[in-house]
Structure 1
Amino acid sequence: MEKQLKNYRVRIYHFMLKFVKDSALAEDLTQDVMLKIWLKKDKLSSMEALDSYILAMAKNHIFDHFKKLAKEKSYQKEVWHHLQNSENRTESKLATDDIQGQLDAILHELPPRQQQIYELNHDKGLSLQEIADQLNIAPNTAKNHLTRALKVIRSQMNPESFLWLAWLGLLPL
């Protein structure tokens, strides 16, 4: 039986090598099949169609190997996609928090009336007419205060931050 196993080993190795094109991997797969054969040697010794059975074992093992690779690749893609999205969300959150901090610092430096009008317009979504009515001022005065506030913000924010704020809808372009 041992001489027969050596012959099968060579045949299985060449069969595996034909599919995987890597001698080390073909050797590992051959070893796996040879172990299965060795564990079933008592059962196999009484078989008449041993060649067909061992070839079927090798074929099934190579199919299982490729199925496993496909699952691993699919899993790797899924994990990579999840990590990419997670990193993007984290980076976006950090960037947004940093830019919001810069904006808050600039707003804190504005005169109180400009702060108030900016907050009513951007935070509460009030129109210039609604702001003017609420503060008992002319709509043009509300517009002038908002324009000055936006001019200060634009001049003090770096261009990337300004575009990021505009993209997030925190500033008009």
Structure 2
Amino acid sequence: MHKDSEHINIEQLIKGDESSFNMVYNQYSEKVYRLAFRVLKNDEQSEEIVQETFIRLWLNRERLDSSGNMWLYLYVIAKRLSLDAYKIICKSSVLSERLLQEIHAIRNTTEEEILANELEQFTENVISKLPKQQQLIFKLSRVEGLSHQEIANQLNISPNTVKNHIVEALKTLKAQLKYSDLIYFIALVYSV
């Protein structure tokens, strides 16, 4: 879908147009599922995350920015829901306790909206300054949701090269964010 048609769909979605919601669901539900499955490794729970993500999108549609990035909105919601589900599953382990503390430290009532807008604008600016190959690989991984192996196959390079490009892109993002409160969010959302 082109960026212009995405804006139109967001505007229509904000107005409560169900066909726009259905288009957004059809376009992104599989990517939301893959994101949830990477965290939860469970079909049923991942499908629940998809449903909850789109319910939240619909219920909060009036707060969307019509010029925003729909995938980024959905990514933030789905990632948060997946991590919340994961911590419930693993609540007795030390690692999940640390994860729980990090999640609570960065939460506030308008976090999804604020972080989505700030993250989108800042990240797009930083990514646009990366070397072209790094930009492409980073976008295929983080925007399109492709695995390292899928990217490697598509670009005819090794999965290690893909990982190295992503690591370098993340280092650049983190360096650019060192004075920003978003560093914790980036570390959580964009962990390799």
Would you call these one fold, judging by a TM-score over 0.5? no
Instruction: Name the TM tier (shorter chain).
Output: 0.3 to 0.5
TM-score by length of 2: 0.39
The two structures have a TM-score, normalised by structure 1, of: 0.43
* Higher alpha-carbon Rg: 1
**Bigger relative contact order, structure 1 or 2, given CA contacts below 8 A and separation 6+?**
2
